[in-house]
Chains A and B, each alone.
Chain A
């Protein structure tokens, strides 16, 4: 009787909602799905003056720039415990789509970059190329909604100081850069990144060579010879790889982006549209699958290096390995980056600042005269000593001692020169 009453009086516990049952007479309740914030698109307006309120870098609250009203952001820091997803179509379907907030999609007509701004904001210049030719774009319904982000902690005035310092550094760049006043506005933008984890079990097999010394007695004296003895070996390496970052956009220089690493993922917070208030954000244009290919490529190379490290010899041939990936997981996060441009000698250069750590990376013009002078200086000792050695060769044979030294110096100078040239080329051409 008590049980009967228990059945009749039963109500589902809080947090459970009724779902479709495929058998009559049986009611099924499942945990309620996370709130669909997407359906409650928000425009962040001040309740006091109705002005647009924005997230202020380094702060955990929204601030009204007009009346000073402040509003706490409810997102919590999850750090490395942020949820990770498996590689399933179902998971992709389950992922919430869209931004969960009314945002305007913008496309640059010059570089085709796609980014979003808060409703009511109009971006007059492209944060990637500085072009003023931007146009509205259809809404971004097909994008996976980011699950986590790292909020901006560096503000734009700090960026300006850091970039000015960075521009003044380096002997191979024009000294006028120190005083450049064409530095544009710093646009804080959340860039998309994929974060991958996997556990790799790698089995390798190779012919490994071990050096042995042999002594021969020939023509009345002992001679020592080093030989390599080859034998087949195999081994296994277990390599956990966590938090591998792969950029989700091809609109910015990936080389520059990687120079902004590392981001401290321990500061990840649950995605809250409030953090995007007053900031730009870019949706990914590198899909999960191609991004995973990039990540997988990096992971397998790490596994290969680990296998080589497992071999107790530098002599290896016929190396083969199989890397089994287990527990592959992904996250989609937004990371804070400032983008800006500056002009120097009528040419536009891109510069980026890590919005979390303040690290700076960018394109810098090169003072090629200085570079060539430096290269010349590097090569001069070797060349001059070589000439001296040739002269001394005719006078008493002392050149035999000097010439090898000159050759050694020349080689060192050449290596340094090439390094300088490559770095200079990279600094300008990124």
Chain B
């Protein structure tokens, strides 16, 4: 653990806040931490983190500014309540897996998305599908007469369209993390339409994940995303209902990369030597994490049950021995009594 604060003045200027920069050598993730509350461990892999030296460009620090942010709709209080509710059904929990400790460790966390602006000039072609209603017929014959039925079906007429496109696309969202889809899926999805302009107050006392991908690496995704939007717009321009075999020969200019931040909470607990993170979606409260049972508590419980079982067995054994003894005594008494009565009867 290394909590040396080391400011990157360029970054501070971009983000408008004093930020600590933390680098995890294990998972190679980089985080920015505001409010001077740097975490003890990496929130992703729970290895020790080191501070990034000022001006070290090879560390993965990004200088693209944040532009939009999806604000927290679940405040810390509601996140704690959600966490307590989520824990309620668990038993044999590890000592650290309790609402109080987890709430104490709860930190605001932002995941990054790239936003790209671009001017696009293109020549496109596609097959556009236009829906139309067609009538089909069904005739039923029974008892010497026919009954007619008309069935209306929606069919698609495909027509070729070509054209040009000269459009500016603003804030096209593209994954900035290698496992973005997995992250979003674990956190139960986000409504990206709920964004607001970035403000420094919105990231106060938060951990901010720095993109894994550089813009160059994210360009392919960005191009696909822009193309998809362009295809949708071409379909709309042609007044069509469906589109297929779409292709575009395009130039992309005036590219501008910024970031969008999506909110989450992170907390963690430890069982043995391992760390277990819990993630809470800051927009809808969805919780993701492992509900672990404490092995030591489980063993203790098993030992208690085992001891009780042994005790019961011993008690049973003792009672059985006593019972058999009593039975033997009774049998011998009975036998003695019956033999004495028989002799007395035959002698006269």
Contacts and interface: CB of A to CB of B under 8 A. Distances in A.
B135 A6 contact: no
B138 A22 contact: no
Given A29-B161, A30-B159, A296 B140 contact: no
B218 to A, nearest CB: 21
A10 B135 CA distance: 41
Contact of B167 (A12, A26, A296, A320): A26
Interface string B129-164: 000111111111111001010000001000111111
Contact of A325 (B132, B137, B141, B233): B137
A325 B163 CA distance: 39
Given A7-B251, A21-B163, A328 B237 contact: no
B293 interface: no
A304 interface: yes
A26 B160 contact: no
B166 interface: yes
A347 interface: no
B160 A31 contact: yes
A29 B163 contact: yes
A88 B134 contact: yes
B86 to A, nearest CB: 46
Contact of B135 (A4, A22, A23, A87): A87
A9 to B, nearest CB: 10
A423 B11 CA distance: 105
A321 interface: yes
A137 interface: no
Nearest to B164: A27
A43 to B, nearest CB: 35
B44 interface: no
A232 interface: no
B165 interface: yes
A29 B164 CA distance: 9
Contacts of A89: 133
Contact of B236 (A3, A23, A87, A326): A23
Report which residue of B132, B134, B137, B162 has the largest number of chain A beta carbons within 10 angstroms of its beta carbon.
B137
Contact of A328 (B136, B146, B236, B249): B136
| A interface, size bucket | 35 or more
Contacts of B239: 20, 22
B292 to A, nearest CB: 53
Contact of B136 (A12, A90, A326): A326
A3 B250 contact: yes
Contacts of B146: 300
A25 B166 contact: yes
A12 B159 CA distance: 16
B17 interface: no
Interface residues of B, number: 36
Contacts of B251: 3-4, 7
Contacts of B167: 25-26
Interface string A111-131: 000000000000000000000
Interface in A138-188: none
Contacts of B132: 88, 90
B45 interface: no
Contacts of A322: 138-141
Contact of A26 (B135, B139, B163): B163
Interface in A1-51: 3-4, 6-7, 10, 12-13, 16, 19-23, 25-31
B123 A7 contact: yes
A22 B239 CA distance: 7
A10 B134 contact: no
A320 B140 CA distance: 8
Given A6-B123, A7-B251, A89-B133, A30 B138 contact: no
A300 B237 contact: no
24 contacts: A3-B251, A4-B251, A6-B123, A7-B122, A10-B123, A13-B162, A21-B237, A22-B236, A22-B239, A23-B237, A25-B165, A26-B163, A26-B165, A26-B167, A26-B237, A27-B164, A29-B163, A86-B155, A296-B137, A320-B141, A322-B141, A324-B138, A325-B137, A328-B137
List of 10 A-B pairs having minimum Cβ-Cβ separation, nearest first: A23-B237, A26-B237, A320-B142, A325-B137, A21-B237, A323-B139, A25-B167, A28-B163, A87-B135, A7-B121
Interface of B: 121-123, 132-143, 146, 148, 155, 159-167, 233-234, 236-239, 249-251
Given A16-B162, A26-B237, 4 more contacts: A88-B134, A300-B146, A321-B141, A328-B135
